[in-house]
Structure 1
Amino acid sequence: MIKETKDGVILMLYVSPKAKKNEIDGIDEWRKRLKVKIKAPPVEGKANKEVVKFFSKLFGREVVIIRGETSREKDLLIKGASKEEVKEKLKI
Structure 2
Amino acid sequence: MNSCLITIKAVPNAARSEIIGWMGDVLKVRLKAPPVDGKANAELCRFLAATLGLPKSAVTLATGGSSREKRVRIEDLTLDEVHRQITRP
Q: Give TM-score, length-normalised by structure 2.
A: 0.85
> Structure 1 residue 10: deviation in Å?
0.8
> Structure 1 residue 7: deviation in Å?
5.1
| Structure 2: runs of 5 or more not aligned | none
65, 78, 84: which one pairs with 2:61? Answer: 65
| Structure 1: runs of 5 or more not aligned | 1-5
- CA deviations on 1:47-87 (whole Å, 9 max, x unpaired) are 00000000111122310000100000000000121222111
Separation in 1 of the partners of 2:65 and 2:17?
A: 18
17, 22, 28: which one pairs with 1:27? Answer: 22
Separation in 1 of the partners of 2:60 and 2:2?
A: 11
After superposition, the CA RMSD in angstroms is: 1.7
User: Counterpart of 1:9?
Assistant: 4
> Structure 1 residue 26: deviation in Å?
2.1
Aligned length: 85
Q: Give TM-score, length-normalised by structure 1.
A: 0.83
- Give yes or no for the alignment of 1:53 onto 2:85: no
Separation in 2 of the partners of 1:18 and 1:44?
A: 13
Runs of 4+ in structure 1 deviating by more than 3 angstroms, as ranges, are: none
Instruction: Output the amino acid matched with 2:70.
Output: K
User: Counterpart of 1:81?
Assistant: 77
